Homo-oligomer: A and B are copies of this chain.
Amino acid sequence: MSKAEDLTKVKSCPTHFVLAINDTLNVLIGKWKLPIIGSLLFGKKRFRELEREIPRITPRMLSKELKDLEINGIVKRTVHDTIPVTVEYELTESGRSLNSVLDAMIEWGLDHRKMSIAPEKAA
């Protein structure tokens, strides 16, 4: 029995799985999380590099989202005391392990596009 089938046991055990799903959603939700994670899958990046690689992101949003991702243990921030300081961002083990989730999402997304007439009408 799959864990999602277990979700049908939500009445007897709601918090456990629902919270786990929400944790996962929270690290992916937001306009810029995916582009940032995608960019960091290439390896360590500095602030300005990310800014350049992600079109139209503002420094405010990049800073905010990186902080979120850091708090959530997805991204590791390293300050090198060069002059001027350089800061590097990289995915943690947790961050890299999101791969399996993204895989499942890609698979569902592609299958669903095949089936659905108008998936692009999504809000």
Contact = CB atoms under 8 A, between A and B. Distances in A.
Contacts of A119: 23, 72-73
Contact of A98 (B97, B108, B115): B108
B102 A4 contact: yes
How many copies of the polypeptide does the oligomer hold?
A: 2
A7 B116 contact: no
Interface size bucket, A side?
Answer: 35 or more
Interface in A24-55: 24-29, 34, 38-39, 41-42
Contact of A42 (B8, B17, B34, B93): B8
Interface of A: 2-5, 7-8, 10, 17-29, 34, 38-39, 41-42, 68, 71-73, 93-94, 97-113, 115-119, 121-123
